[in-house]
């Protein structure tokens, strides 16, 4: 097993190689020098999605949402809190299905909010409906593939 991971930067989306043992030590991006883990979900669009979904080695949890959706807005702080807990082992991201209809269509999002968990570029789990922070964390950990 490789002892380092490719991690996409939440700011500039550059791929960084991070030694597994240093994942917890607040690594920074080699290109933009920003922290690779800031404890917040990263906002993704068509141009940045693949860097985190398929090119990064980190599992990716995506919240597909829309600004007009009340349950989505209610879940937002829970998702934010879950990011603080699940990083640096999982990257959390938000996709606004209204401004990114291509991504919503690509992944067949029929209702929002919908959480989709990806690992190594493949969808491993999906759940529709708003969830509390603890439920998000538990559901994600239960569905993560073993390393």
Under rule CB under 5 A, residue 11 binds Zn ion: yes
Q: Shortest gap between Cβ of 89 and Zn ion (angstroms)?
A: 19
Among 17, 22, 31, 138, binds Zn ion (CB under 5 A): 31
Under rule CB under 5 A, residue 28 binds Zn ion: no
Q: Shortest gap between Cβ of 103 and Zn ion (angstroms)?
A: 21
The CA-atom distances, in angstroms, between 64 and each of 13, 14, 16, 32 are 19, 23, 25, 27
Total residues binding Zn ion (CB under 5 A):
7
The CA-atom distances, in angstroms, between 80 and each of 19, 70, 84, 130, 132 are 26, 16, 7, 13, 11
The yes-or-no answer on residue 69 being catalytic is yes
Under rule CB under 5 A, residue 143 binds Zn ion: no
Calpha distance 136→139 (Å, rounded): 5
Cis peptide preceding 144, ω within 30 of 0: no
Q: Which of residues 78-117 bind Zn ion (CB under 5 A)?
A: none
| Backbone φ and ψ of 104, nearest 5° | -60, -40
| Backbone φ and ψ of 40, nearest 5° | -125, 150
Among 20, 22, 24, 32, binds Zn ion (CB under 5 A): 32
Among 29, 86, 90, 136, binds Zn ion (CB under 5 A): 29
The yes-or-no answer on residue 72 being catalytic is yes
Q: Which residues are catalytic?
A: 69, 72
Q: Which residues bind Zn ion (CB under 5 A)?
A: 9, 11-12, 14, 29, 31-32
């Amino acid at each position: 097993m490789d002892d380092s991971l490719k991690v996409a930067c939440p700011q500039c989306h550059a791929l960084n190689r991070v030694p597994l043992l240093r994942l917890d030590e607040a690594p920074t991006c080699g290109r933009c020098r920003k922290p690779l883990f800031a404890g917040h979900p990263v906002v993704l669009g068509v141009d940045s999605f693949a860097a985190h979904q398929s090119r990064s080695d980190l599992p990716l949890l995506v919240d597909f949402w829309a600004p007009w959706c009340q349950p989505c807005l209610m879940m937002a702080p829970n998702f934010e809190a879950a990011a603080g807990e699940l990083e640096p082992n999982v990257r959390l991201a938000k996709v606004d299905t209204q401004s990114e209809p291509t991504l919503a269509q690509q992944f067949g999002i029929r209702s929002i909010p919908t959480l989709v968990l990806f690992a190594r570029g493949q969808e491993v789990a999906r759940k529709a409906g708003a969830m509390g922070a603890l439920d998000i964390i538990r559901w994600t950990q239960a569905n993560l593939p073993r390393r």
